[in-house]
Amino acid sequence: MTTTPPGMAAALDRLWAKFLPEIEQRIAVLESAAEALTAGLLTETEREAAHAAAHKLAGSLGTFGMQRGTELARAAEDMLAESCSAEDAVTLKDYAAELRAVVKGRNAD
How many domains is the chain built from?
A: 1
Question: Which pTM value belongs to this model?
Answer: 0.89
Asked, for residue 23, whether it belongs to a domain, the answer is: yes
Asked, for residue 9, whether it belongs to a domain, the answer is: no
Judged on CB neighbours under 10 Å (0-12, 13-18, 19+), 40 is exposed
Phi, psi torsion values for 81, nearest 5 degrees: -65, -30
Asked, for residue 73, whether it belongs to a domain, the answer is: yes
Asked, for residue 10, whether it belongs to a domain, the answer is: no
Name the residue range of residue 29's domain.
Answer: 15-108
Give pLDDT tens digits for 4-19.
677 888 888 899 999 9
Asked, for residue 58, whether it belongs to a domain, the answer is: yes
Give pLDDT tens digits for 38-87.
999 999 999 999 999 999 999 999 988 899 999 999 999 999 998 888 88
